[in-house]
A and B are shown apart, each in its own frame.
Chain A
Amino acid sequence: QQQVKQSPQSLIVQKGGISIINCAYENTAFDYFPWYQQFPGKGPALLIAIRPDVSEKKEGRFTISFNKSAKQFSLHIMDSQPGDSATYFCAGFNTNAGKSTFGDGTTLTVKP
């Protein structure tokens, strides 16, 4: 049972465009939803995260939108830049268990 479904698998966006990655979860035990950015050959780095009692969180060009009733959340990258080209993972974090369940990842390519 895949507890976090992520789409699309890959995404190509022009520089300056908006990149949107969507995730849906099933496990209601998740109480925190981080997004990670991973460059080739590197470990994932925490990018932005949201709690389920908040519908939106913005940090610079990165925004998370959260819909608790639909069990869906998304990452929006505004003014996408070539340096944003990476793989992005959404996750559901269970604080009691202290660990995350990850989506399958989205490979983002931002073309100059």
Chain B
Amino acid sequence: GAVVSQHPSWVICKSGTSVKIECRSLDFQATTMFWYRQFPKQSLMLMATSNEGSKATYEQGVEKDKFLINHASLTLSTLTVTSAHPEDSSFYICSAPLAVRYQETQYFGPGTRLLVL
């Protein structure tokens, strides 16, 4: 099946530092990838759509200067949390759509746990 990986799986950083999270599609190409944020016991909140070769599309209320997204290749998207603060602590998950048997659906990475001290 389709595999999406994320790195790192968890990260602890000091307040004010920047953290980069990578999302890779391992066995397929993805012109589009999605970044979600998930708080404990809550649903997935779409933050932005990452587009290969062009600017990301951010959901309403998400600060584009805070959450920098780069989709440099057909298999890699990165999310950089700039000047991280404790309120940015969360579970970040990426996904990529893939057509299987003529039906496209989303496949998710394992997630990255971010803790900002």
Among A18-26, A66-74, A95-103, the stretch in contact with B: A95-103
Q: At the interface, yes or no: B67 with Cβ under 8 Å from chain A?
A: no
Residues of A within 8 A of B108 (CB): 36, 43-46
The reply to whether B93 and A44 form a contact with Cβ atoms under 8 Å apart is: yes
Residue from B91, B106, B111, B113 with most neighbouring chain A CB atoms (10 Å): B106
Residues of A within 8 A of B93 (CB): 43-44
Q: Which of A43, A49, A89 interacts with B105 by CB under 8 Å?
A: A49
Q: Which of A95, A99, A104 interacts with B43 by CB under 8 Å?
A: A104
Main secondary structure of the interface of A (DSSP, over half): strand
The reply to whether B106 and A34 form a contact with Cβ atoms under 8 Å apart is: yes
The reply to whether B104 and A95 form a contact with Cβ atoms under 8 Å apart is: yes
The reply to whether B42 and A104 form a contact with Cβ atoms under 8 Å apart is: yes
The reply to whether B43 and A43 form a contact with Cβ atoms under 8 Å apart is: no
Q: At the interface, yes or no: A60 with Cβ under 8 Å from chain B?
A: no
Closest to A87 in B: B41
Which residues between 30 and 79 of chain B lie within 8 Å of chain A, taking CB atoms? 32, 34, 41-44, 46, 49
The reply to whether B104 and A98 form a contact with Cβ atoms under 8 Å apart is: yes
Complex-state Cα separation, A49 to B107, whole angstroms: 12
Q: How far is the CB of B10 from chain A (nearest CB, A)?
A: 9
The reply to whether B44 and A99 form a contact with Cβ atoms under 8 Å apart is: no
Complex-state Cα separation, A95 to B4, whole angstroms: 19
Q: How far is the CB of A30 from chain B (nearest CB, A)?
A: 12
Residues of A within 8 A of B97 (CB): 98-99
Known: A99-B34, A104-B43, A105-B42. A46 touches B107 (CB 8 A): yes
The reply to whether B111 and A32 form a contact with Cβ atoms under 8 Å apart is: no
Complex-state Cα separation, A49 to B103, whole angstroms: 10
Q: At the interface, yes or no: A61 with Cβ under 8 Å from chain B?
A: no
Interface residues of chain B, those whose CB is within 8 Å of chain A, are 4, 6, 32, 34, 41-44, 46, 49, 91, 93, 95, 97, 103-111, 113
Interface residues of chain A, those whose CB is within 8 Å of chain B, are 32, 34, 36, 41-46, 49, 51, 87, 89, 93, 95, 98-100, 102-105, 107
